[in-house]
Amino acid sequence: MSTYTLGLDFGTESARAVLVDVTTGQTVATAVHPYADGVIDERLPGMDRPLPPDWALQNPADWIAALERTIPAVLAESGVAPEQVVGLGVDFTACTVLPTTPTGAPLCQLELYRAQPHAWAKLWKHHAAQPQADRINELAALRGEPWLPRYGGKISSEWLMPKALQILEEAPEIYAAAATIVEGSDWIAWQLTGNLTRNACAAGYKACWHKVDGYPSPDFLAGLHPDFSGLYTEKVAGPVVPPGARVGGLTPEWAARLGLREGAPVAAPIIDAHSATLGGGVTGPGTMFLIMGTSTCHMLMAEEEKLVEGIAGVVEDGIAPGYFGYEAGQSAVGDIFAWFVEQGVPPAYHQEAAEQGVSLHQVLSRKAAALRPGESGLLALDWWNGNRSTLMDADLSGLLLGYSLTTKPEEIYRALIEATAFGTRTIIQAFTDQGLPVRSLVTGGGLTKNPLLMQIYADITGRELAVAGSEQVSALGAAMLASVAAGAQAGGHDTLAEAAAHMAPPPTQVYRPQPDNQPIYDILYAEYRKLYDYFGRGGNNVMKVLKRLRQGRREEE
């Protein structure tokens, strides 16, 4: 009897379920459910009062609806019997958190609180807690908090502490009423099993948890607000478990609602980007996984914990149990190309695309592919949206030099691609300089469809670059974790490596560095790094001066 696991992937606008054959890795059915309320950033459902700027919420009822729609759908489509489904895995955006009652009811579902925005789930891209994040970073730096360097010296407004502090300060009654504040991912697992756990991935990358040191201290929290000291001991309590650990079995109620077997193991969840790493077949050290879309996330595992400059987080058991998971990032990649295509390309190119029935990206890529490295005479710094790794500086901005009166759009397009590849090479170098090996690369995401871009990344990084075999790497990763939660005896796998060997399809393509191009790119990379250090490390602060002037400020505050 074939066995299957369910991978449940909760995204920003929709959720997806995949049903995967545990032995062959074949995805036998897929279903997608768009959230009815989508991203709530204008007003609460059914209410008139507008939300303040930078708010972004979700409705947990949408998540439940997604379970109830997609799981029966994939069972029906595939004809797989309930007893063949040996486990469920969940990946989720993060930090996406909600306050609940002691039994897990979202506060936003209580009549008493539903008009209160702070009672709803704060989506990862809720950025209204920036003032709280600023104060947390300031105090943590002042006190020399030991957890701060693990996050590159700064935490984001998207993370749990700022979001929770914002609730406490702006809606103390909600904070008081919240028995717990919980990631959407862990909340789903809690719903399905009745057990509240915290997955090490979200806890480590978004809530400042450390396997040995635990969470930031009550003493530190009290320095932010007298009523905040119990955040972790009271509101974020519960065991921290590595992704793929068994949270529990499906409750009879949920088994009935979903048409699954009672007691089917539910795996400890994982953040979607980290799940994609597993779905890309990367379950241990030496291979970096890149999710390349509007921005790029770089995932790497290693045997050791090291402080790597500008790495957004290092978490033991953060991606796969037994390894330290490292996460780095470039804050704009596909976004830069999209900006250029929208703002910087003259009509003749648009016309050519229309005539050929292809995208402007394709026209530019084809023309850019005809150029040899160095031919454009251009070099860029890919900081159109600041620099995440390795400089962690949002006030940096983009640079392009080498312009001449004969510079062509395709030359700029290629220079922008090259710049993002130099950015990735810089991140790789930050790891290898610390003795953490990066031998090859696996990629997933929308940009993998551009062969020119892929080849440039291989040439510039000097490493083989494989394109992940699955188009649904996140959901597949969740299904792999489900197989591990089940274990081999129950028709799953005992380790993630085994799961990957069976369930992660081989790469659709492997790009190899072209020996002719590498020496030229080495020269260009050296020049990139000179500019990187000069503009990024205080040699010339012109970008910060310009940012201030742009905001209408003349002097440093």
Q: Mind giving me the DSSP string for 232-273?
A: IIIIT-S-EE-TTSEEEEPPHHHHHHHT--TT-EEE--EEHH
**Bridge partners of 320?**
none
For its own copies, give the closer residue by CB, 113 or 532: 532
Distance, CA of 411 to CA of 400 (rounded, Å): 11
What are the backbone dihedrals phi and psi of residue 99, each rounded to the nearest 5 degrees, phi first? -90, 140
Q: Following DSSP, what letter does each residue of 427-469 receive, concatenated?
A: HHHHHHHTT--EEEEEEESGGGG-HHHHHHHHHHHTS-EEEPS
Q: What is the per-residue DSSP string for 173-230? A: HHHHH-SEEEEHHHHHHHHHHS---EEHHHHHHHS--BTTTBSPPHHHHHHH-GGGTT
- Which is closer to its own copies, CB of 111 or CB of 555? 555
CA–CA gap between residue 445 and residue 122 (Å, rounded): 25
Cis check: omega of the bond before 390, within 30 degrees of 0: yes
Identity of the residue, 343 or 489, whose beta carbon is nearer to its own copies in the bound complex: 343
The least CB distance from residue 521 to its own copies, in Å, is 10
Q: 327 or 410: whose CB is closer to its own copies?
A: 410
Say which residues have a Cβ less than 8 Å from residue 354's Cβ, sequence separation at least 6: none
By C-beta, is 109 or 407 nearer to its own copies? 407
Query: What is the C-alpha separation between 365 and 103, in angstroms, rounded?
Result: 54
One-letter amino acid identity for 225? H
Long-range contacts of 109-118 (CB under 8 A, 24+ apart): 109/60, 109/61, 113/174, 113/177, 114/44, 115/44, 115/47, 116/171, 116/173, 116/174, 117/44, 117/51, 117/55, 117/57, 117/171, 118/166, 118/167, 118/170, 118/171, 118/174, 118/175
Give me the least distance between CB of 371 and its own copies, in Å please: 10
Q: State in angstroms the smallest separation of the CB of 40 from its own copies.
A: 24
Smallest distance from the beta carbon of 334 to its own copies, in angstroms? 11
Residue 67 host element (H or E): helix 60-78
Residue pair 242/481 in contact by the 8 Å Cβ criterion: no
At closest approach, how far in Å is the CB of 346 from its own copies? 6
Q: In the complex with its own copies, which residue's Cβ is closer, 174 or 353?
A: 353
Q: Least CB distance from residue 397 to its own copies, whole Å?
A: 5
Question: Could you give the C-alpha distances from 110 to 8, 106, 166, 173, in angstroms and in order?
Answer: 26, 7, 20, 13
Least distance (Å) between residue 344 CB and its own copies:
5
Cβ of residue 349: shortest distance to its own copies, in angstroms? 9
Cβ of residue 545: shortest distance to its own copies, in angstroms? 6
Nearer CB in complex with its own copies: 102/347 = 347
| Whole-number Å distance between alpha carbons of 121 and 100 | 10
Judged by the rule CB under 8 A, the positions of this chain that interact with its own copies are: 332, 335-336, 339, 342-347, 350, 372-379, 381, 383-385, 397-405, 407-409, 519-520, 523-524, 527, 530-531, 534-535, 540, 542-543, 545-547, 549-550, 552, 554
Question: In the complex with its own copies, which residue's Cβ is closer, 75 or 415?
Answer: 415
Closest CB 460 distance from its own copies, rounded Å: 14
Closer to its own copies by Cβ: residue 47 or 526: 526
Half-sphere exposure of 540 (CA within 13 A, CB side): 10
Closer CB to its own copies, 342 or 355, in the complex: 342
Gap between the Cα atoms of 120 and 97, Å rounded? 9
Q: Residue 256 or residue 549: which is nearer to its own copies going by CB?
A: 549
Q: For residues 223 and 231, what is the distance between their CA atoms, to the nearest angstrom?
A: 12
Contacts of 198 (CB under 8 A, 6+ apart): 182, 183, 186, 207, 209, 236, 238, 239, 240, 241
CB of 381 to its own copies, least distance (A): 8
Measured from the CB atom, the residue of 406 and 489 that comes closer to its own copies is: 406
Distance of closest approach, residue 125 Cβ to its own copies, in angstroms: 15
* Residue 267 near residue 224 (C-beta atoms within 8 A): no
Q: Residue 546 CB, nearest distance to its own copies (Å)?
A: 5
Cβ proximity to its own copies, 16 vs 388, nearer residue? 388
